[in-house]
Amino acid sequence: MSVIAAPANRSNTSIWVAFILLIVGTVGAYYVVGLTQALLFLIGGALGMTLYHASFGFTSSWRVFITERRGRGLRAQMIMLALAVLLFFPALGAGELFGNPVKGNVSPVSMSVMIGAFIFGIGMQLGGGCASGTLYTVGSGSMRMIVTLVFFCTGSLIATTHLDWWFNLPHLAPISVVQSLGVAPALVINFILFALIAFATIYFEKKRHGSLEVEPKSQHQGWKRFIRGPWPLVWAGILLTLLNFATLSLAGRPWGVTSALAVWAAKTASFAGIDVASWSYWQQPANAKALSESLWFDITSMMNFGIMLGALLAAGLAGKFAPNFNIPKRSLIAAILGGLLLGYGARLAYGCNIGAYFSGIASGSVHGWLWLVSAFIGNSIGVKLRPVFFPDERPAPEKLTGC
């Protein structure tokens, strides 16, 4: 009887812990920084709940398509991106949103993006998650993903020691299709690309399986499903886009994740006596400010904390918060290697699956598309490496679980 009750007790505790910390974080952000920071923290919480309840995994969606040719997850991503450009492009073209200046995540089209995204893609499959996936699975109680997150931060810090060399590799200046072509032509081109990818997944899925995968039915309906999940992938993709758009309106730039992980590692290293502030990367004004200021002032950090707490709350509400400390040795090694690759690759590529892929494409940046292609190739390599670290893994195309 006690064995059955234990997970429920842990889930109930996690609900209260998450709820209290979300309140403390919101109030703290309001009094230390201001209303905007408090709202961004809450948006982070909503992102975490959405990612968890829908198991909206970029890594798992790509792996399932690569191994089983099931494209439901990829099609949900294309719908998400289509709505994102529809909302983002007009605002970015005007340069303002609700009277506030806004700027997209537009970065150089470079060798560093191509190599970094490729490395990141391998890390996604070994680490078991992307950037957003790592955060929400950590929040939901995955002990293995805590290891991935620690080494994600470590890899990010290592990359900052010599980013200048990578960024000086052959590259083109940042290219925004919104600025280069105009809002309407940019929308048409992106819609065509999204449609081509979606139709390609349909073609390959029907070719192998004869029919498309159906969304699994939930045992919960109405408000109970909203609270306990699971949420449909398409609904989650739409909600993630709306929350990213809210981030743009409040922060003046889209959602990002990984810059904060480098800051966390740098602050930890500084506390340990390493003179991180003397490194050229951390002498750049924005990075120096992030390193010297409290994390209360760092938008990305506060949103990341919100994501983890939102996922913790969602896991508790779903009755699934039950941390497992039994991590197989090979899986642990994969978490370490994957985390290092994720962190290092994200810095080289000017972002991750959120900052470079989701927000990059939503911003009209060509580097977002280069990131997508390079990361997908990296994922293909990572999938081939997984049996070395996960020998007992079996394909489960009917269920996309996490990242």
Q: Give the alpha-carbon dihedral of 369, 372, 374, 378, to 10 degrees.
A: 180
Q: Read off the pLDDT band of 399 (50, 70, 90).
A: very low
The pLDDT of residue 394 is 65
**The pLDDT value given to residue 189:** 97
Which spans in 252-365 are helix H?
A: 258-271, 285-292, 299-317, 329-348, 359-362
Q: How sure is the predictor about 6, in pLDDT bands with cuts at 50, 70 and 90?
A: very low
Tens digits of residue pLDDT in 125-182: 999 888 888 888 898 888 899 999 999 999 999 999 989 999 999 999 999 999 999 9
Query: For 64-68, what is the mean pLDDT?
Result: 93
pLDDT band at 9 (very low <50, low <70, confident <90, very high): low
Does residue 254 have a cis peptide bond before it, meaning omega lies within 30 degrees of 0? no
Structure tokens at 225: 């499903």
- What pLDDT band is residue 232 in, cutting at 50, 70 and 90? confident
Where residue 94 falls among pLDDT bands split at 50, 70, 90? very high
How many helices (H) and strands (E) the chain has is answered by 18, 4
Complete DSSP assignment for 44-62: HHHHHHHHHHHT--HHHHH
| Predicted pLDDT of residue 401 | 40
For residues 194 and 358, give the distance between their C-alpha atoms in angstroms, rounded to a whole number: 13
pLDDT digit string (tens) for 363-375? 999 999 999 999 9
- State pLDDT tens for residues 115-127: 999 999 999 999 9
Flag whether pLDDT at 110 surpasses 50: yes
**What's residue 216's pLDDT?**
72
pLDDT grade for 55, boundaries at 50, 70 and 90:
confident
Residues with Cβ within 8 Å of 331's Cβ and at least 6 positions away in sequence, in order, are 144, 389, 390
pLDDT value, residue 324? 78
Q: pLDDT by residue (tens digit) across 291-343?
A: 999 999 999 999 999 999 999 999 888 888 778 778 899 999 999 999 999 99
Q: How confident is the model at residue 2, as a pLDDT? A: 35
User: How is the chain split into domains, by residue range?
Assistant: 2-214+222-389
Give, for 27, the enclosing helix (H) or strand (E): helix 2-32
d(C-alpha 39, C-alpha 36), whole Å:
5
Q: What is the pLDDT of residue 5?
A: 40
% of the chain surpassing 90 pLDDT: 75
Q: Is the pLDDT of residue 27 over 60?
A: yes
